[in-house]
């Protein structure tokens, strides 16, 4: 018996069987069919076994080839993983190096100038030092906000909060903020709001303002002469494809005649930490997060961000996104809301009776600053260093307003607020307004304060104007 070695041999045998004299004989010798059938069956089985062994051999070969391929792709996958890990590590190191530099710079100014102030007897020097502290602190605050936003975006934690937004007011506000800086540099700043763009749209105004503000502040920062123009128009190409009648694709475009961006950098300009060499060499302030944040916000809003730029000629950045227009009734409601909000924010005259305010904060510095912010001639100000102390003071005599830090040792602000509210339920009396002072500014953090029983929220670092507005609004 012979085993077949290949598929082609099998086909040869089939041909042989078809033409074999045995078969032919089988047809002729029908009386002696047992011998013929046995011969045919033996031959067929031999061929079949040979064929199967041959297929098995082919499959085994294929299997070992697949194994080889898998081994290679496993190695490639491991290599790709390693490369990704190295890139992540590089990005982390770059991030830490950038942050360390950006944090140390303003801190260095603040600490250095604070030392100088101690021995300063000259009013002009004093004012100058003060200005350095203010600029450095502002820069630190911006950095912290950007880094927090960046990490939230990376962790996919930013949710858009849509509300009726007056786009015209939003642009005017951004223009008013940038105008003095552009004016000081002798750069002309203009804006134009197209008639066909709906004034009221549904949007997350805070995030929209942040995205456009990044583009505008860059234009101001990177332009030394000429003009910066803001335009708000319908994006006709996208609008044409839009099927929803109440949706407008709006293009916020900022064009400048500034330093421009090198061509090879343009494809990466929206990546984190990308900065032009000229910008770095001139040591212009910044940390390469703004454009990346704006692009992520554009994606979140299902829009897009574009750039055109030429070195020494200028740049044009566009933020384009679809917005649902507000029906007229919502517009009216939103207008009233807005007016209410504005009227609530203005300073109300206070009554002649001195109201009692309790500041609860574990930080000596914070208590001192807030005390000073609240000119004590107008109010009777008391302090507590934690929730338990605050509770003891409230039990002795109620206050007209409590400014409550939320994170404190022993008893935090959440527990203290809850306990004060429980006390108020036992002895029905006027409920004391409690305003949370906290560094946690996310919507869920604010909601946590309100759930504990707070009436309002002020984000740290506390600004005097904002504090006074809130205090007045609760003490009229």
Footprint of ligand ADP (CB under 6 A): 214, 218-219, 222, 256, 258-261, 269, 274-276, 279, 286-292, 315
Work out how close the CB of 214 gets to ligand ADP at its nearest, in angstroms, rounded to a whole number.
6
Work out how close the CB of 344 gets to ligand ADP at its nearest, in angstroms, rounded to a whole number.
34
Tell me whether residue 168 or residue 175 sits nearer to ligand ADP (CB atom): 175
SS3 253: strand
Pairing of strands 401-405, 434-438: parallel
Question: Do the Cβ atoms of 402 and 390 come closer than 8 Å?
Answer: yes
| Position with the least CB separation from ligand ADP | 286
Tell me whether residue 112 or residue 262 sits nearer to ligand ADP (CB atom): 262
Question: Do the Cβ atoms of 433 and 474 come closer than 8 Å?
Answer: yes
Bin 315: left if φ > 0, else alpha if -120 < ψ < 50, else beta. Answer: beta
DSSP lists the bridge partners of residue 402 as: 358, 434
Work out how close the CB of 279 gets to ligand ADP at its nearest, in angstroms, rounded to a whole number.
4
Question: Do the Cβ atoms of 435 and 457 come closer than 8 Å?
Answer: yes
Cα 129 from Cα 448, distance rounded (Å):
39
Tell me whether residue 256 or residue 405 sits nearer to ligand ADP (CB atom): 256
Work out how close the CB of 294 gets to ligand ADP at its nearest, in angstroms, rounded to a whole number.
8
Question: Do the Cβ atoms of 120 and 440 come closer than 8 Å?
Answer: no
Work out how close the CB of 106 gets to ligand ADP at its nearest, in angstroms, rounded to a whole number.
14
Work out how close the CB of 313 gets to ligand ADP at its nearest, in angstroms, rounded to a whole number.
10
Question: Do the Cβ atoms of 229 and 191 come closer than 8 Å?
Answer: yes
Tell me whether residue 165 or residue 217 sits nearer to ligand ADP (CB atom): 217
For the chain, the helix, strand and coil percentages under 3-state DSSP, each to the nearest 5? 60, 15, 25
Cα 401 from Cα 398, distance rounded (Å):
9
Tell me whether residue 256 or residue 389 sits nearer to ligand ADP (CB atom): 256
Tell me whether residue 106 or residue 258 sits nearer to ligand ADP (CB atom): 258
Tell me whether residue 259 or residue 449 sits nearer to ligand ADP (CB atom): 259
Own/partner pairs, 364-369, CB within 8 angstroms, 24+ separation:
366/405, 366/437, 366/460, 369/462
Work out how close the CB of 219 gets to ligand ADP at its nearest, in angstroms, rounded to a whole number.
5
């Amino acid at each position: 018996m012979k085993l077949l070695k290949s598929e082609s041999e099998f086909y040869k045998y089939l041909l042989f069987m078809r033409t074999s004299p045995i078969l032919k004989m089988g047809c002729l010798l029908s009386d002696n069919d047992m011998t013929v059938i046995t011969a045919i069956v033996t031959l067929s089985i031999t061929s079949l076994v040979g064929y199967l062994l041959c297929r098995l051999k082919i499959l085994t070969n294929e299997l070992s080839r697949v194994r080889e391929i898998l081994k290679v792709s496993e190695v490639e996958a491991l290599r790709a993983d390693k490369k990704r890990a190295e890139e992540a590590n590089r990005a982390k190191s770059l991030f830490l190096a950038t942050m360390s530099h950006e944090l140390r710079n303003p801190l260095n100014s603040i600490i250095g100038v604070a030392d100088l102030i101690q021995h300063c007897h000259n009013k002009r020097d004093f004012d100058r030092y003060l200005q350095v502290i203010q600029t450095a602190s502002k820069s630190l605050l911006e950095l912290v906000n950007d880094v927090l936003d960046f990490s939230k975006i990376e962790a996919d934690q930013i949710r858009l909060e849509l509300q009726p937004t007056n786009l015209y007011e939003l642009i005017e506000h951004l223009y008013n903020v940038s105008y003095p800086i552009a004016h000081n540099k002798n750069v002309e700043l203009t804006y134009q709001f197209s008639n066909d763009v709906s004034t009221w749209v549904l949007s997350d105004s805070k995030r929209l303002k942040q995205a456009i503000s990044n583009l505008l502040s860059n234009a101001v920062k990177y332009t030394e002469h000429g003009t910066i123009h803001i335009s708000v128009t319908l994006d006709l190409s996208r609008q044409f494809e839009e099927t929803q009648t109440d949706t407008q694709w709006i293009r916020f475009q900022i064009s400048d005649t500034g330093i421009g961006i090198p061509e090879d950098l343009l494809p990466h300009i929206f990546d984190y930490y990308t900065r032009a060499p000229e910008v770095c060499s001139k040591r212009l302030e910044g940390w390469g997060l703004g454009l990346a944040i704006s692009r992520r916000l554009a994606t979140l809003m299902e829009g897009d961000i574009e750039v055109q730029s030429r070195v020494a000629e200028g740049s044009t950045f566009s933020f384009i996104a679809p917005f649902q227009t507000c029906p007229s009734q919502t517009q009216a409601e939103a207008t009233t809301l807005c007016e209410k909000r504005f009227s609530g924010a203005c300073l109300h005259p206070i009554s002649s009776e001195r109201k009692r305010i309790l500041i609860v904060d574990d930080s000596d510095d914070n208590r001192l600053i807030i005390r000073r912010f609240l000119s004590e001639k107008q109010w009777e100000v008391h302090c507590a260093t934690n929730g338990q102390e605050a509770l003891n003071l409230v039990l002795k005599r109620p206050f007209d307003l409590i400014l409550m830090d939320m994170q404190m040792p022993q008893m935090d602000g959440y527990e203290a607020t809850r306990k004060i509210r429980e006390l108020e339920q036992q002895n029905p009396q006027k409920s004391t307004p409690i305003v949370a002072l906290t560094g946690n500014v996310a919507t869920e953090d604010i909601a946590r304060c309100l759930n504990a029983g707070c009436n309002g929220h002020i984000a740290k670092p506390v600004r005097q104007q904002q504090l006074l507005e809130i205090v007045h609004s609760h003490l009229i």
